[in-house]
Structure 1
Amino acid sequence: MRETFHRERCPNDDKDVSRQAAEWFALLLDDSATANDRAEFRSWLERSPDHVATYSELERLWLGASALPEVLPNAFLKRRKLLKSGGALAILAAAGAGSAIYLWPAAADYRTGVGETARITLPDGSIAELSTASAISLMFTTGQRQVILQQGEAFFTVAPDASRPFVVGCRQLNSTALGTQFSVGIHEEGIVVAVAQHTVRVSSPSQEQAVSEGQSVLFANDRLSAPAQTDVGTQLSWRDGKLVFISTPFEEVVATLAKWQRGKLIVMDKALARRPVSIIVDVRRAGRILENLEHGLPIRIASYSPWLTLIYPQ
């Protein structure tokens, strides 16, 4: 049965390494895991540095949660013992762990934590609304108004000032307000600029686009897309304390929700990941996001710590 499980759940040609790593993590978390299981796991780790790095990140999240008072220490002791017996800990250490360390930008003037939003009045009277885990810095002088988006997403309502253009810089992209309301956000697919009112001039080192009200552009792989009609109200619904998804692939829903709570969320079934769903999530009750998700959709949620949650079809 064990061998069949591995062929079905962790096939060699499966490109979703995160899902494979999570399956191994869930299996090895079980005290019934055998020596053969651990040998196969070690073989899987040795196939690719990506396997090591991805599993290492799950391990970091798990071990990092051991300092939280609501997590039972015995569970972590058993987990450490299991990993050491399989030799996985030594492999991860030899590879340098490869996990990301999340640090706030040191120079940020304003920031929000995970699950938080903020409304900020800037020195010129403009308003910046920060989404979850976002950070901005300001460069306001007598001749310029520049905001640097360092992390996350922000929505701007710009105060008029013909003598000082209002520019939002984000990595290689500059967005200059030719009107009043727009957002700039860093997403997995790239940097997205969405215009709610009037027009924004968006420029990269090699391209420039005028983006009108109700349109958005994507900057990815050093290319700026053509402006596309966008449901800006839905895209920016976080400003009203909710996230709105309409016929959205479930994996995209989960990727967005992951920004609003700590820890890693992984969808464990490919068909479930591709399934379109329509749902409204109240982010003002961030602590109950997963509970509401489970009640509203045919899914089963397994939380192994505050830092790791696996999602299965029901």
Structure 2
Amino acid sequence: MTAAQPGAKTVKQAILWMLRLREHGYEPSLQHQCAQWRNARPEHEQAWQRVIQMHQDLDLRAIPGAGVALQTLETSQRRLHRRQALKLLGGVGIVGAAAWLGKDLEALNAWTADYATGTGERRSFTLPDGSLMQLNTRSAVDLAFNDQQRLIHLKQGELMITCSQAPNLQQPLLVQTREALLEGFTGRFVARQDSDCTRVSVSHGRVAIHRPGTGQLQWIESGQDWRLDAQGSQQLEHVDMDAMAWSEGLIVTRDMRLFDFLAQVSRYRHGYLGCSDEIADLRLSGVFRLEDPEQLLQLLPQTLPVRLRQRTRWWVRVERLT
């Protein structure tokens, strides 16, 4: 049985316990109270371990504002009573730490995963069976390879699998996403875990879809793109972006909405990137290189009647050219 994932409230509690122990850790009663809280529920201990790991063992530069937020809380805890500190936890300064940790635990998934990539990073790995796995930006997977199975759990993000051609492999290569279990023997396919669905694209071979609780099996053939969500499985007739191009460091669009294009580019950079509603439906087609997202954005005014409004490096908004 999988332990419950800690939510934002639990993460905030873990941060407060950490700060209280830093301030008064010599008090046995406080240590005992903290131990009771950690033992009360599995998600308490999980949140505690991850907060400690975040603060002590990991590079906080990957979390915008996290280091500053924790230092601010630590200082404030010495000056303010507990109610004021809780208010501070809800403020903008802690978005990089508590809210960042509590919302889907995306970065924590990367920290605890067998293989992971950061923002803007793409990496390739050779799996124990000889298959090639490529991870796109902000992706994390766990592996369960043994004599009985070859299983990849896509925790977040996007992967491309080129299945091994070794003749002695009897078990299918499985990719578990939130919506389905994907099964492939040969060929190449991409799986992307979005917030509300799984997207699957097959370039060679074919992939079987197992939906939990349905007992049904569907096949995705070469050249097909599918969307899997809570309502079912749907083949996509029109695809506005090449699902495989990211493995070559590219975004290739075909009559894509500007809003959707910016959403894709934002996966490869930190901070806010958006556009005004009046230009959200502008369309663009082309080939764009991902190696420098900021330079990529500079190309937009050359192809569309728009301008870039930039407050900081982390805040960019595309607006209509006036």
Q: Per the shorter chain, which TM-score range?
A: 0.5 to 0.7
Check whether the contact 2:202–2:225 (CA below 8 A) recurs between aligned residues: yes
Q: Within 2, Cα distance between the matches of 1:65 and 1:107?
A: 18
Structure 1: distance between partners of 2:67 and 2:301:
25
Q: Which of the residues 111, 116, 127 maps onto 2:121?
A: 116
Looking at structure 2, the residues matched to 179 and 224 of structure 1 have their Cα atoms a distance apart, in angstroms, of 25
Q: How big is the shift at 1:178?
A: 3.7
Is 1:255 the counterpart of 2:272? The answer is no
What letter corresponds to residue 262 of structure 1 in structure 2?
A: H
Q: Which runs of structure 2 are paired with 1:137-216 in the superposition (5 Å)?
A: 137-160=142-165, 161-205=168-212, 206=214, 207-216=216-225
Question: Which whole-Å CA distance do the structure 2 matches of 1:289 and 1:185 have between them?
Answer: 23
- C-alpha distance in structure 1 between counterparts of 2:67 and 2:107, whole Å: 19
Deviation at 1:93, TM superposition (A): 4.0
Letter matched to residue 186 of structure 1: Q
Match of 2:30 in 1: none
Q: Is this contact kept in 2: 1:65–1:306, CA < 8 A? A: no
Counterpart residue type for residue 122 of structure 2:
T
Which residue identity is paired with 2:266? A
Report the counterpart of residue 264 of structure 1 in structure 2.
272
In structure 2, C-alpha distance between the alignment counterparts of 1:232 and 1:309, rounded to whole Å: 23
1:104 aligns with 2:108: yes
Q: Which residue of 2 aligns with 1:219?
A: 228
The verdict on how the C-alpha distance between 1:287 and 1:274 changes in structure 2, with shifts beyond 3 A counting, is: closer
Residue equivalent to 1:130: 135
Is residue 246 of structure 1 aligned with residue 254 of structure 2? yes
The answer for unaligned runs of 5 or more in structure 1 is: 1-62, 68-88
Q: Cα gap change, 1:155/1:114 in structure 2, threshold over 3 Å: closer, same or farther? A: same
Matches of 2:290 and 2:186, distance apart in 1 = 29
* Contact preservation (8 Å) 1:195, 1:232: no
Report deviation, 1:204. 1.6
Percent identity over paired residues: 24
In structure 2, the residue corresponding to 1:197 is in which secondary structure?
strand
The alignment partner of 1:198 has SS state of strand
Which one has more relative contact order, counting CA pairs under 8 Å at least 6 apart?
1
Distance 1:246 1:66 in 2: 41
Aligned mates of 2:308, 2:99 — CA distance in 1: 24
The answer on whether the counterparts of 2:182 and 2:208 sit within 8 Å (CA) in structure 1 is yes
* Conserved 8 A contact 1:111-1:134: yes
Q: Give 1:307 shift.
A: 2.4
Q: 1:65 to 1:253 in 2, by over 3 A?
A: farther
Shift of 1:297: 2.6
Alignment partners' CA distance in 2, 1:278 and 1:163 = 42
Number of residue-to-residue matches in the alignment: 228
Does the alignment pair 1:305 with 2:312? Answer: yes
Would the aligned equivalents of 2:258 and 2:279 in 1 still touch at CA under 8 Å?
yes
- Structure 2, unaligned stretches of length 5 or more? 1-63, 69-86
Structure 1 residues 265 and 65: CA distance shift in structure 2, 3 A: farther
Q: Is the 8 A contact 1:243 1:282 kept in 2?
A: yes
Deviations 1:131-181 (A, max 9, x none): 111111110001210011111100000013542211000124110004321
Q: Deviations over 1:103-152 (max 9, x none)?
A: 23143111111111111111110000111111111100012100111111
The answer on whether the counterparts of 1:267 and 1:273 sit within 8 Å (CA) in structure 2 is: yes
The 3 A distance-change label for structure 1 pair 230 and 111 is: farther
The 3 A distance-change label for structure 1 pair 273 and 236 is same
Cα distance change on mapping 1:233 and 1:64 into 2, 3 Å: closer
Give, in whole Å, the separation in 2 of the partners of 1:257 and 1:100.
Answer: 20
Q: Output the CA distance in 2 between the equivalents of 1:233 and 1:196.
A: 14
What is the aligned partner in structure 1 of residue 280 from structure 2?
273
Cα deviation, 1:42-94, whole Å, max 9, x if unaligned, reads xxxxxxxxxxxxxxxxxxxxx93997xxxxxxxxxxxxxxxxxxxxx99x649
